[in-house]
Structures are given as C-alpha cells and as structure tokens.
Amino acid sequence: MKVNRLILSFAVAICGSTAFADVPVYLDDSKPLEERVEDALSRMTLKQKIAIRHAQSKFSSPGVPALGIPELWTDDGPMGVRPEVKWDEWDQAGWSNDSCTAFPSLTCLAASWDPELAVLYGTSLGEEARFREKDVMLGPGVNIYRTPLCGRNFEYFGEDPYLAGVMTGQYVKGVQSNGVAVCVKHYAANNNEWNRYTTNSIVSDRALYEIYLPAFKAAVDAGAWSLMGGYNLVNGQHATYNQRLVNEILKGEWGFDGVVISDWGAVHDTKQAVEGGLDMEFGTGTDGLTSKGNPYDNYWLANPYYNGVLEGKFSEEQLNDKVRRVLRLTMRTAMNRNKPYGSLNSEAHHQACRRIGQEGIVLLKNDDNILPISKDKVRSIAVIGENGIKRMTVGGGSSSLKALYEIFPLEGLQARYGDTINIVYERGYVGDTLTYYNHVWTKQHLDDPRSPEQLKADALKAARNADLVLFFSGLNKADHNDAEGTDRQTLDLPYGQNELIEAVAAVNPNTVVVNISGTGVAMPWLGKVKAVLQAWYLGNETGNAIASVLAGDVNPSGKLPYTYYASLDQCAAHKLGEYPGTPRHDPVEGDIIDMKYNDDIFVGYRYIDKEKIKPTFPFGYGLSYTTFGYGKATIDRKKGTADDIFTVTVPVTNTGDCAGSEVVQLYISDLKSSLPRPVKELKGFAKVRLEPGQTENVTFEIGRDALSFFDDKAHAWVVEPGRFEAIIGASSADIRSTVSFEIE
Ligand code: BGC
C-alpha cells in the first residue's frame, strides 16, 4: 500500500522540484529541511498531527495522505530485513519476494573489532531495506551485555561501551547513507528479557552515563534519525517515556532531533507518554481489526491524545514538536528523492555477510596447532552436533529472518573439502525440533527416531573412527537459548551437550569444538578438547565462513566483545546485582520487578579486574594462526593538561609465518581519583593486518574523553589531575606495554 508515495511522485512529476513557482515549500527539496518541516506543519489539521504519529498497521504509520506526505514503513532489524507480515497480525503475509540476506549477529560484528566492517554491514543492510521500500530499520540493538543470560545478547555489541559506541556509529552511518533511518534500540538499561515488560532497572546516573548510554550517544552523534524506547522501566518510570532519559538526556543534553518510537506495545498511559517525550506509538494491541472504526485510533497517543489537546490537557505546541520530528524523519527517508534504489540479495551482500562472519569468528584455544586442519594429517572428519545442520537465521524473536539461503556448517565443510576428506555426520542428540519460530517456517524437519542412547552411541562410533572431530555445540535461538522474551536459565549448554562433548573427547583426543551462540557458555570440558572456535550466528554464509577459518583459508582475527565467564558468580550482575529482581506493587505502574544494578559501573572486565577473577576467557581475547610481538609503547609527552592530545605509539610485528590481523587495544588507567574507577577502561583499538615479519607502528590519540569519568554529584564529565597509564593489550588480560603520563 504505497498510495502516498504515488501521490508524492505525482506531485513531483507535475511540479518538478523547482519548475513551478507554486510548489509547496514542503515538497521542494531544494529548500532547507527545517523550512519544509514548518511549511508542512502549518498545513496540517489537529487530526492529521495526531494520526501521523501512530501506527496504522503492525509496522507502518499513515503519513498525511491529503498532503501527499507518505507513509513510513518500519521493519526489523537489526541483522536483515524481516519478511512481510499481515496488516494487523504477526503472521507472514506470504509474499514470495521478501527473502533477504541474513547478516551475522551484531555480537559477531562487534567481535570483528573492525569499524570499516560496521560501515559495510550498515550499508549493505540499508541497501536491502531500500529495495524492500523500508524507511526505518528497527536496529541496531546497542544494549550492554550485562549478564550472559540475557536472551538478546546476540543482537547487541557486547559489554564495553566504547567498543559498542564505535561500532554503532559506523553502522548508523552505513544504513542511513541509503536514506533509510536506523532506530537504535532499546533505550535504555534494557539488559534482560526475563520480565522485560515489568523490570524496573534501578541504576545510578554514573552507570547510565559511563556504561549504558554511550552507545546510544554514539548513535545520536552519528546522526541517528530515530530511537526506540525499551519495554522496561528505569528508576521507576517506563523507559519509552522516561522524563530523565528521553526529555532531559536524549532530547535535552544530546540535542537529538529525531523521533522517539515506542517499542511494540510499550505504551501504557497517554499523559505519561505525551509528557515523557514519546513521539510515535507502535505495536499497541488492537483486537485484530474487528472493532468498529479504525482500532489504531484507540492507541494511547491517538484519540485520547486528540481529546486531551481539545480539552486543553495537552498543549498543541508540545504536539507540534513531536510532529516536526516525524516530518523530519519522513523527509529524510520516504520523501528523500536523492536516495539510492538499493538492492536485495546481491552477490556483494552475500560476500559482505561472509567477510563479516570470517572476521568475527574467534579462535579461543588451539593446542598443538591442530587448526587449521592439515590435509596431510586429516583424512576423515566426524562432524557432530545438531548445530552442524540447524537453520539459525530463523528464530530468536523479532530478528528472525527469511533468508534466501543458509549454508549449514556441515554443508560448508563438504563444499570446502569435496572428496578430499571423508566427512561423516552424526547429530549426537536431539535438541530443538521446532519448525516454526516467530511465524517463520524453517522448512526443516529435525525429528529423529533414534533413542538418546542410540544417538550418542552413533556419535561416539563416528568420533572413534575419524582423524578429527568437529563438534558444533551451542545455543539455537529457541526459547531460553538466545531468544527475545526469554533469558537463559543457566550458563550451561543445553541438551546434555557438555556430557556428550566429554564423551566424544574421551574417544578422540583430536576434538575441536565450534561453538555457535550469541553469548558466553560454560565450558567445563575445555581442558579435554584441543581447540575451540566461537562462531556466533553468521547468517546466509555460516558454513562457508566457518569452513574457511577451519581450513586456514582465512586466519581468524576476531576477539571477544565480552568476558567469557566460567560461572555466573564471576559476573557482577549476578554476584552483586539483583537478578532476576524483586517483585513490588507500585501505586502508579502496578506490579513491577525491581532490579538493582548494584554492580554499578563494574560491568564485565571492569569487575573481573577489580576482583582479580580469572574468567574462562577475558574480554578482548582471541588467537590467530600466527603470533604477534609487541614492542615498547612510547608517548609523545609525559605531562600535559586534559585538553592536550597525547599520542601513544606501539610497534606490532607479525612474528609467525602466515599473514594475519591483530586487534591492538588501548586501555586507560586513572591511578588516583576521588571516585572509584575501574582498574582500566578500553579507550582505543586498531585492527592491523600484517604479513609475516612485517611491523607496523600503531598509534592512538588520547584526549579528554579517554580520561574522564562521570561525576554524578557535579553532573559533569571530570578529568582529575594526576598520573594515568596508557596500557596496550592484546586482550584485557594480556598486557604488552604500559606508559604513564601526568595531567597537571
Ligand atoms: C522488540 C523490538 C522489535 C519490535 C517489532 C518488539 O517486541 O522488542 O526489538 O523491533 O518488537 O518487531
């Protein structure tokens, strides 16, 4: 239903952009944006101002048909363009032209530590969105990985605000270069799925500013055109219309001029939503279009808002601000005549998918250099585990996709090795056999008539007879296994995988585990297997990307974007915080669950460092098939003021015998401060590709941002005089060189 676009093109066809003197200013794209917005606003009736700001279907809003202002079409997000659903239902519309490229999970993108890949990712996704005529992509998800149990970690960029911020900014620029808006989500402190509608995140200002908000701020700084409020409450008020978060910080301090969109069904009250800065309402229930009239008119921000304005309860000026934002968004996207046409399922997108997957895979262990697979030593491989053959582009909730194709790990290996290596497959266990997730069919039937004992016996037999075992372990986007709306219930792998891996490793010492998940899992068998790869959900090209790393066609260079905990009590959210929270009845909000963020700013490695804990793998960790040597870091000045730029340089050499990339990390440590600070914090990183024997000087600039902390009493970012250290690491736990300097 692109009626309004036709009206717009018609107006343009008749008028041209400037050919006729009487082209209305709002349709004349040679005029400044704000002038056009004001002109459109001045022509709108109160009813139109109300209507333009709420849904007319599951994913669209109506625009202003009478003025030729087009509809806005949103869609999930964030890893591919979701298939079309029916007008008012979540069911598939049954279109046959809505298969997409499924890109790797955002955790994988974060694990690449490559901002250029974030641009490539965003640009490619934006092109697909454009081709599918979408104006707003509901993503990226930028919530911080606070607990490994959070069901949506795979949609986010990991535990560190700096890494998440850098990757977010580039992703935003990429998507929006297509005239498609991002809708960065879920603002804010939305760090678990369990009780997601009622969790009240009780979090200090300092933790908000230092940990939970920077990635959103980075999106705003990169020019994000819209943002989605979370379902949760923050400090007692719903996040989607939270005075402090939306009005004071986002629109006030950061000067955000875009649209705040509710998460689907996150609005519960007209007055609070109007006054709390919400601009557009989506996803509130209708009764399936069976009621009289347009049920969308019953939205909290529809008729109740209209009547409220007429009755003088809400000012029209306040409404105008919301309308201006929606007009701005529409002019930047649907009414942007200079945007490209986009493309869907191009070879370039499939290659981008593969490249991002290859660059994000993390090699966690590689005893005896068992990887890459040596064709001289390995004549037969037993591939074991359901994840070797399971469709993972479907599932997980709203990010579920209808991918044009998906290469499973087993298929990728078969394609890579052809007849040169004998590959046998055994599943080993039956985990999840659902064929339908979030209204998308997997078109895969995974029932197996064998008993669990037989499955295991068959897997062990295959393992015994092979030169090498590749065990594809992990989660699978079914409920409680990396899925929206549910958290995991344990850090352990499901379906008895731990026991099976141990049994397999006992019969074949050459066992390699390839773990597919979007979050950390316990690895009690780690000491018994030779190698481990963390392989994420990689989209269409999953099998090819994994096979190319296993075979050594690609040298792994990903590093972990979060701490890999050995047990939940290593994670501050569980050790110190309240998870899953304490139920309470609130007189205004009803039954809610208070969740105190007692871990405060000590999230991830910030807590690990403070308590000197040894996790399974630290933040920033990842191996390569080559090795890297670091020289001594130098700094260009030993003293200066907080406004000076300090330059740190460190030579990095590829000391092995194959080309590879290293992620060099800069952490800053404030040796003495009036408020407690983390031992060190990531403030820079660079991914360098080096040929064997090649050395490159890697340079980082340190400015005020890298030195400051948020003083919540003063409500200011502060740099205190004293000694600081610039710490160069190959991970957060593998420090290679340190230089100190002083702020006067
Ligand atoms: C999710 C959002 C998503 C929206 C629309 C909500 O349930 O939390 O991330 O964009 O649905 O599908």
Tell me the CATH number at 142.
3.20.20.300
User: What would the mean pLDDT of 210-229 be, rounded to a whole number?
Assistant: 98
Residue 357 pLDDT > 90? yes
**Ligand 1: centre distance to CA 91 (Å):** 15
Residue 564 pLDDT > 90? yes
Decide if 613 is inside a domain: no
**Ligand 1: centre distance to CA 82 (Å):** 11
Q: Average pLDDT of the chain?
A: 96
Q: Which residues of 519-553 are buried (b: 16+ CB within 10 A; e: fewer)?
A: bbbbbebbeebbbbbbbbbbbbbbbbbbbbbbbee
| Domain region containing 36 | 2-332
Q: Is 138 in the pocket of ligand 1 (CB under 6 A)?
A: yes
Asked whether the beta carbons of 324 and 41 are under 8 A apart, the reply is yes
- List residues with catalytic annotation: 263
Residue 19 pLDDT > 70? no
Final residue of a domain: which of 536, 551, 566?
551
Count of alpha carbons within 13 Å of 535, Cβ hemisphere only?
33
Nearest to 181 by CA among 223, 144, 211: 223
Decide if 603 is inside a domain: no
Q: What is the pLDDT of residue 16?
A: 45
Q: What is the pLDDT of residue 1?
A: 38
Please, which pLDDT band fits residue 329 given cuts at 50, 70 and 90? very high
- What does the alpha-carbon distance between residue 737 and residue 735 come to, in Å, rounded to a whole number? 6
- What does the alpha-carbon distance between residue 387 and residue 431 come to, in Å, rounded to a whole number? 9
- What does the alpha-carbon distance between residue 642 and residue 744 come to, in Å, rounded to a whole number? 8
634 pairs with which residues across the strands? 649
Q: What is the pLDDT of residue 11?
A: 46
153 and 211 in a common domain = yes
Please, which pLDDT band fits residue 118 given cuts at 50, 70 and 90? very high
User: What would the mean pLDDT of 569-579 be, rounded to a whole number?
Assistant: 94
What's the token pair of residue 201? 């995140």
378 and 284 in a common domain = no
Final residue of a domain: which of 501, 519, 551?
551
- What does the alpha-carbon distance between residue 204 and residue 216 come to, in Å, rounded to a whole number? 17
Q: What is the pLDDT of residue 649?
A: 98
Domain count of the chain?
3
Name the one residue in this structure whose structure tokens are 């939940």: 568
Which protein residue's CA is at the shortest distance from atom 3 of ligand 1? Answer: 398
12 and 62 in a common domain = yes
Question: Higher-confidence residue: 381 or 15?
Answer: 381
**3-class SS at 233?**
strand
Q: What is the pLDDT of residue 578?
A: 85
CA dihedral 22→26→32→33, nearest 10 degrees, is 180
Q: Is 111 in the pocket of ligand 1 (CB under 6 A)?
A: no
328 and 370 in a common domain = no
User: What would the mean pLDDT of 96-120 be, rounded to a whole number?
Assistant: 98
**Ligand 1: centre distance to CA 398 (Å):** 6
How do strand 226-229 and strand 237-238 relate by DSSP bridges?
A: unpaired
Q: Is 76 in the pocket of ligand 1 (CB under 6 A)?
A: yes
Decide if 203 is inside a domain: yes
Decide if 490 is inside a domain: yes
Residue 6 pLDDT > 60? no
What's the token pair of residue 383? 């591939």
- What does the alpha-carbon distance between residue 634 and residue 650 come to, in Å, rounded to a whole number? 7
| Residues 6 or more apart whose Cβ sits within 8 Å of residue 665 | 620, 682, 684, 685, 728, 729, 730, 731, 732
Decide if 597 is inside a domain: no
Which protein residue's CA is at the shortest distance from atom 4 of ligand 1? Answer: 264
112 and 220 in a common domain = yes
Q: What is the pLDDT of residue 688?
A: 98
Final residue of a domain: which of 500, 521, 551?
551
Question: Higher-confidence residue: 577 or 709?
Answer: 709
| pTM of the model as a whole | 0.96
- What does the alpha-carbon distance between residue 667 and residue 606 come to, in Å, rounded to a whole number? 11
Q: Give the model confidence (pLDDT) of 59-74 as tens digits.
A: 999 999 999 999 999 9
**3-class SS at 126?**
helix
Q: Is 237 in the pocket of ligand 1 (CB under 6 A)?
A: no
Q: What is the pLDDT of residue 293?
A: 82
**3-class SS at 717?**
strand
Please, which pLDDT band fits residue 12 given cuts at 50, 70 and 90? very low
Please, which pLDDT band fits residue 184 given cuts at 50, 70 and 90? very high
How do strand 716-718 and strand 709-711 relate by DSSP bridges?
A: antiparallel
**3-class SS at 157?**
coil
User: What would the mean pLDDT of 343-355 be, rounded to a whole number?
Assistant: 98
Decide if 584 is inside a domain: no
Top mutation candidate among 92, 142, 184, 263 for ligand 1, by most atoms within 8 Å of CB: 263
Residue 507 pLDDT > 70? yes
**3-class SS at 64?**
strand
Q: Give the model confidence (pLDDT) of 420-446 as tens digits.
A: 999 999 999 999 999 888 788 898 999
Q: What is the pLDDT of residue 13?
A: 44
Asked whether the beta carbons of 494 and 408 are under 8 A apart, the reply is no
Tell me the CATH number at 682.
2.60.40.10
Distances (CA, A) of 208 to 1, 2, 199, 715: 41, 41, 16, 12
- What does the alpha-carbon distance between residue 374 and residue 454 come to, in Å, rounded to a whole number? 31
Residue 139 CA: nearest ligand 1 atom is 10
The strand order across the sheet containing 60-61 reads 60-61, 72-76, 136-138, 181-187, 226-229, 259-262
294 and 387 in a common domain = no
Q: Which residues of 131-156 are buried (b: 16+ CB within 10 A; e: fewer)?
A: bbbbbbbbbbbbbbbbbbbbbbbbbb
Q: Is 438 in the pocket of ligand 1 (CB under 6 A)?
A: no
Tell me the CATH number at 382.
3.40.50.1700
Q: Is 99 in the pocket of ligand 1 (CB under 6 A)?
A: no
**Ligand 1: centre distance to CA 439 (Å):** 14
Asked whether the beta carbons of 266 and 281 are under 8 A apart, the reply is no
- Span between the terminal Cα atoms of the chain, in Å: 63
Asked whether the beta carbons of 687 and 624 are under 8 A apart, the reply is no
Q: What is the pLDDT of residue 440?
A: 84
Q: What is the pLDDT of residue 14?
A: 44
Asked whether the beta carbons of 594 and 202 are under 8 A apart, the reply is yes
The number of residues making up the chain comes to 744
Decide if 310 is inside a domain: yes
User: What would the mean pLDDT of 1-14 be, rounded to a whole number?
Assistant: 44
Q: Is 609 in the pocket of ligand 1 (CB under 6 A)?
A: no
Q: Is 399 in the pocket of ligand 1 (CB under 6 A)?
A: no
372 and 312 in a common domain = no
What's the token pair of residue 159? 């535990």
306 and 179 in a common domain = yes
Which protein residue's CA is at the shortest distance from atom 8 of ligand 1? Answer: 263
Q: What is the pLDDT of residue 258?
A: 98
Q: Is 556 in the pocket of ligand 1 (CB under 6 A)?
A: no
Which protein residue's CA is at the shortest distance from atom 12 of ligand 1? Answer: 398
Q: Is 155 in the pocket of ligand 1 (CB under 6 A)?
A: no
Asked whether the beta carbons of 676 and 719 are under 8 A apart, the reply is no
Please, which pLDDT band fits residue 478 given cuts at 50, 70 and 90? very high
Residue 9 pLDDT > 80? no
388 and 256 in a common domain = no
Q: Give the model confidence (pLDDT) of 690-724 as tens digits.
A: 999 999 999 999 999 999 999 999 999 999 999 99
Residue 230 CA: nearest ligand 1 atom is 8
Distances (CA, A) of 716 to 211, 330, 676, 707, 710: 15, 35, 16, 13, 6
Name the one residue in this structure whose structure tokens are 């964030």: 78
Residue 59 CA: nearest ligand 1 atom is 5
**Ligand 1: centre distance to CA 193 (Å):** 12
- Dihedral of CA 569/574/576/582: which sign? negative
Q: Give the model confidence (pLDDT) of 618-664 as tens digits.
A: 999 999 999 999 999 999 999 999 999 999 999 999 999 999 999 99
Q: Is 203 in the pocket of ligand 1 (CB under 6 A)?
A: no
518 and 660 in a common domain = no
218 and 73 in a common domain = yes
Q: How many CB atoms lie within 10 A of CB 308?
A: 18
**3-class SS at 5?**
helix
**Ligand 1: centre distance to CA 410 (Å):** 32
- What does the alpha-carbon distance between residue 651 and residue 728 come to, in Å, rounded to a whole number? 11
366 and 323 in a common domain = no
**Ligand 1: centre distance to CA 263 (Å):** 6
What's the token pair of residue 587? 């007189």
Which protein residue's CA is at the shortest distance from atom 6 of ligand 1? Answer: 264
Residue 141 CA: nearest ligand 1 atom is 9
Residue 18 pLDDT > 70? no
Helices (H) and strands (E) in the chain, counts: 19, 30
**Ligand 1: centre distance to CA 264 (Å):** 6
Decide if 612 is inside a domain: no
Nearest to 363 by CA among 530, 605, 481, 161: 530
**Ligand 1: centre distance to CA 579 (Å):** 23
Nearest to 394 by CA among 441, 427, 361: 441
Asked whether the beta carbons of 401 and 489 are under 8 A apart, the reply is no
